[in-house]
Amino acid sequence: MTPQAVLREYFGYSSFREGQEALIARILRGGDVLGIMPTGAGKSICYQVPAMLLQGMTVVISPLISLMQDQVTALREAGIPAACLHSNLDQRAYFDTLDAVRAGEVRLLYAAPERLMTDAFLSITEQIAIGMVAVDEAHCLSQWGQDFRPSYLQIADFLLELPRRPVVGAFTATATQAVREDIRRLLHLQDPLEVVTGFDRKNLRWIVERPADNYEALKGVIRRHKGESGIVYCLSRKDTETVCSRLCADGCKAACYHAGLSPEERTNNQEAFLRDEVQIITATNAFGMGIDKSNVSFVVHYNMPKSMEAYYQEAGRAGRDGSPAECVLLYNPRDIRRNAFLIENSETENDRLTPQQRAAVRQKDHERLQSMVQYCALTDCLRHYILGYFGEKSPTHCGNCGCCLAETDVIDATVPAQKILSCVYRAAQRGRNCGTKLLCDILQGKNTKQIREQGYDTLSTYGLLADVSRQQLEHMVSILISRGYLNVDTAGQYQTLSLNVRANPVLRGQETVQMALPQRDLKQTARERRLAEMPDYGVDEGLFQALRRVRERLAAKEYVPAYIIFSDATLRDMCNKRPRDENEMLAISGVGKYKMEKYGAVFLDAIAAFAAANAESPAK
């Protein structure tokens, strides 16, 4: 069987996505690989397809039990023999899995890194051949990554314990160049084929809001996505529970997820979300990599996360099936202080680090936080910034982010920029650094107690921008932060501004500054209307809902999440193509042979019944 045949028969896809075919071909030739592919780009296909063709079993190392269980369920539904070994299995299930592995009945075995060096796991590797070891979420190897897990350092020792070194594949959605080098070094990858497919998720709309009331802004997002699934990430457990309670009181079906809940409660809440029993889940980053739900229509960050890597990975849980989705970040400057506190007071789990290395890790974390602050301050294209952060070139206007969709006027703001930068400089000359609020108060000539007592009213820049509206002035400061002219000090007790060397040419009149500023007469309702204009799916909504009801009944019967049966994207393809028989159903994206045999007839009947009820032909 060829890789293309495996893809068609088991996964129901007619062609590979970018990067998949090259990685699979290298694996089947016996070579190591490193795949950097965004969430939703199909990383798992890169090891699941060759697992069906290689001699021996494939071991997939995965960080979370929930993620393993989710993938194993999906594989079994596709007709692929898969299993997982983890600490939550009862004794009977554990030994049944071991027996199945020894009998050669398992093609893919998922395991947490903590299980690798146990006697029970190593004994398996002495009894059966291991054709490939796939390391999922490989960025967890690097202490410079945003989600370093010391247990991942055991993987190299595990590979050395195997009777024969298998093919090794490493896969992740987020990895800077330094992290990629760590992955290659720590896994001892041998001349790996490295494929970076690009970080752009064109179906995602990126939005940053600076609301006066975060909860009201969240309700606005939910209104735009009525009846659809969403994730709300919060910085603390308390916020998670508070937001969940308010949503439930307002009539939303919501549950929460954080590390302070009992394992049983976390599992129940996650299962309820996966099975669409609740629409929204509020969560800390403990929810992180443990979610593979394909029909998440929006991800809201109620607070600013501490790194672009974390934000990109968490927000990327939206629109995994390729459907249009929103990623909304609600920014408040107080989040800078909260994240800085977490960085300074976090205890690293890696006892191999020296005090100097720990300090270097903290410094790197503060640099990541600085990049996150710049993102939140943007008035230019958000997508362009994200892609640039990960080293990818892109147009400066995407047309599908909050900034590109905003009504703006482009002006020559060189003079006000000079006044802003000069004010920061003059304050620093007196040994004082100020934050954004105080800076704007000085420039607008406010007569506050703090300004009088600290003598800011005697600065030469006092009141120089009194004729500029507060909204415009704050946006100007944000732009100077986002473009790197101003630094935000995140390590101190208070968040203060300082000049970057990039500011010098502007102050000297050697560089002009163009700014796109919000139109003064833009109404909030108009902005809401523009954001609500999500791309049209172009399908019959009545038929789509009918197929969703069929899927819901099947999922309840099989006791699996609805998207495991078929994704929303697959249902929409059915709506567009209106298959009439088995052959036409097999041409639907996401319908493989196994699922056709199991579920195809039910959906064909539903399509025919809908056509008859609406007095139309089921033909395309």
Say if 312 falls within a structural domain. yes
Say if 527 falls within a structural domain. no
Final residue in a domain of this structure, among 196, 213, 230: 196
Say if 397 falls within a structural domain. no
Task: Assess whether 420 and 312 both reside in one domain.
Answer: no
Contact 310, 282 (CB under 8 A): no
Say if 26 falls within a structural domain. yes
pLDDT at 522: 42
Say if 315 falls within a structural domain. yes
Give the whole-number percent of the chain exceeding pLDDT 90: 51
pLDDT digits (tens, 9 = 90+) for 487-543: 888 766 667 899 999 999 999 999 999 887 766 544 444 555 555 555 555 678 899
CA distance 555 to 283: 24
Contact 39, 173 (CB under 8 A): yes
Counting the structural domains of the chain, the total is 4
Final residue in a domain of this structure, among 196, 226, 253: 196
Task: Assess whether 227 and 138 both reside in one domain.
Answer: no
Task: Assess whether 358 and 218 both reside in one domain.
Answer: yes
From the list 374, 299, 363, the residue with the least C-alpha distance to 336 is 374
Question: In which band, very low, low, confident or very high, does the pLDDT at 620 lie, cut at 50, 70 and 90?
Answer: very low
CA distance 559 to 50: 28
CATH number at residue 151: 3.40.50.300
Structure-block tokens of residue 309: 């890597």
Farthest CA pair distance, the chain: 83
Average pLDDT on 299-324 reads 89
pLDDT digits (tens, 9 = 90+) for 327-366: 999 998 888 888 888 887 766 544 556 778 778 878 888 8
pLDDT digits (tens, 9 = 90+) for 115-158: 889 888 888 888 899 999 999 989 888 876 667 788 899 999 99
Task: Assess whether 186 and 208 both reside in one domain.
Answer: no
Say if 298 falls within a structural domain. yes
pLDDT at 521: 42
Task: Assess whether 109 and 231 both reside in one domain.
Answer: no
pLDDT of residue 616 exceeding 80, the answer is no
DSSP 488: E
From the list 30, 81, 72, the residue with the least C-alpha distance to 52 is 81
Say if 531 falls within a structural domain. no
For residue 133, the cross-strand partners are 59, 168
Say if 81 falls within a structural domain. yes
CA distance 361 to 179: 13
Task: Assess whether 112 and 133 both reside in one domain.
Answer: yes
Task: Assess whether 49 and 142 both reside in one domain.
Answer: yes
CATH number at residue 565: 1.10.150.80
Task: Assess whether 368 and 293 both reside in one domain.
Answer: yes
For residue 193, the cross-strand partners are 33
CA distance 379 to 582: 51
Give the whole-number percent of the chain exceeding pLDDT 70: 92
Q: Look over the chain and give the mean of its residue pLDDT values, rounded to a whole number.
A: 87
pLDDT at 358: 77
Range of the domain at 578: 541-613
pLDDT at 223: 92
pTM over 0.95: no
Helix (H) or strand (E) holding 473: helix 470-482
pLDDT digits (tens, 9 = 90+) for 433-459: 888 889 999 999 999 999 998 899 999
Task: Assess whether 286 and 339 both reside in one domain.
Answer: yes
Task: Assess whether 108 and 191 both reside in one domain.
Answer: yes
CA distance 61 to 115: 9
CATH number at residue 433: 1.10.10.10
497-531 burial, b if ≥16 CB within 10 A, otherwise e?
bebeeebeebeeeeeebebbbbeeeeeeeebeeeb
Task: Assess whether 132 and 37 both reside in one domain.
Answer: yes
Handedness of CA 123, 128, 132, 136 (dihedral sign): negative
Contact 39, 203 (CB under 8 A): no
What is the distance of C-alpha 419 from the center of its chain?
38
Helices (H) and strands (E) in the chain, counts: 27, 17
From the list 565, 559, 65, 89, the residue with the least C-alpha distance to 266 is 65
pLDDT of residue 606 exceeding 70, the answer is yes
Contacts 24+ apart (CB under 8 A), 580-588: 580/604, 580/607, 580/608, 580/618, 580/619, 586/12, 587/14, 588/12
Task: Assess whether 46 and 158 both reside in one domain.
Answer: yes
CA atoms within a 13 Å half-sphere pointing along the CA-CB vector of 174: 22
Strands (E), 338-485: 408-412
131-162 burial, b if ≥16 CB within 10 A, otherwise e?
bbbbbbbbbbbbbbbbbbbbbbbbbeebbeee
